[in-house]
C-alpha cells in the first residue's frame, strides 16, 4: 500500500510597495494577500510588534489558528467515532514564541484550550483522552517542531447546548 500525497496551493502577493520598492527599510509596508482558488482573499500584515498592521492577520495568527482548527476537526471526528456527542466546541489557543537578538523567531510551544459541550452522561475521561489521539492524525500538529499541549474543559448539556 502506498501513501497518498496531497498538493496544497496558494498565491502570496506582496501589496506593500509604496512606489519605491524596498529602497529603504522603512519605505515599504509588510502587507500581502493570500489567494486560494475560489476562496476569499485574506489580507495579511506582519506582527504588530514588528510594525505590522494590527487589524490584519499575521503568519503567527494563521499558524496558531491552523493548528487549533486541525485539532478541532480531528477531535470532532474521533468523538463521533467514539460515540461522544459534541454540541459545541470553541478554543482560545496560546502560542509562545521567541525572537532572538538577530531577529530570527520561532514558536516554542502552543497550548490549545478547547471548551467542549458534550451530551449529559458522556464519558468525560474518554472525551479528554481523545485529545491525545488527535496528535496521531492532525496534519498541522504532525508538521510542526514545537510541543503542543491541550488543556480542555468540558460541560455536559441536555440538548444542543444552545
Region 78-106: what's the mean pLDDT? 95
Domain ranges of the chain: 11-50, 59-157
Decide if pLDDT at 162 tops 60: no
pLDDT band at 2 (very low <50, low <70, confident <90, very high): confident
Region 69-90: what's the mean pLDDT? 97
Residue 61's φ and ψ, nearest 5 degrees, are -55, -50
pLDDT digits (tens, 9 = 90+) for 98-153: 989 998 899 999 999 999 999 999 999 999 999 999 989 999 999 999 999 999 99
Radius of gyration of the chain (CA): 20
Q: What nine digits make up the cell of 137? A: 492524525
pLDDT digits (tens, 9 = 90+) for 20-73: 999 998 899 999 999 999 999 999 999 888 888 999 999 999 999 999 999 999
Decide if pLDDT at 161 tops 50: no
pLDDT of residue 160: 58
pLDDT of residue 50: 82
Q: Which is more confidently placed, 6 or 96? A: 96
Q: Which CATH number fits domain 59-157: 3.60.130.10, 3.90.1010.10, 3.30.300.20, 1.10.10.60?
A: 3.30.300.20
pTM value is: 0.88
pLDDT of residue 6: 87
- Per-position DSSP letters for the chain, written without gaps between them: -PPP------EEEE--B-SSTTSSTTSB--EEEEE-TTS--EEEE--GGGT--TTSB-HHHHHHHHHHHHHHHHHHHHHHHHTPPEEEEE---EEEEEE-TTS-EEEEEEEE--EEEEETT--HHHHHHHHHHHTTT-TTGGG-SS-EEE--EEEEESSS--
Amino acid at each position: 500500500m502506498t501513501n497518498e500525497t496531497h498538493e496544497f496551493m496558494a498565491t502570496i502577493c506582496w501589496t506593500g510597495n509604496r512606489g519605491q520598492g524596498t529602497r529603504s527599510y522603512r519605505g515599504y509596508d509588510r502587507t500581502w494577500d493570500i489567494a486560494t482558488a475560489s476562496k476569499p482573499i485574506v489580507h495579511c500584515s506582519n506582527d504588530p510588534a514588528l510594525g505590522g498592521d494590527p487589524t490584519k492577520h499575521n503568519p503567527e495568527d494563521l499558524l496558531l489558528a491552523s493548528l487549533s482548527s486541525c485539532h478541532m476537526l480531528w477531535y470532532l471526528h474521533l468523538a463521533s467515532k467514539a460515540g461522544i456527542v459534541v454540541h459545541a466546541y470553541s478554543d482560545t489557543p496560546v502560542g509562545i514564541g521567541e525572537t532572538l537578538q538577530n531577529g530570527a523567531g520561532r514558536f516554542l510551544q502552543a497550548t490549545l484550550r478547547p471548551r467542549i459541550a458534550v451530551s449529559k452522561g458522556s464519558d468525560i475521561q474518554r472525551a479528554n483522552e481523545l485529545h491525545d489521539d488527535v496528535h496521531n492524525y492532525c496534519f498541522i500538529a504532525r508538521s510542526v517542531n514545537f510541543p503542543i499541549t491541550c488543556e480542555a474543559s468540558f460541560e455536559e448539556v441536555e440538548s444542543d447546548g444552545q
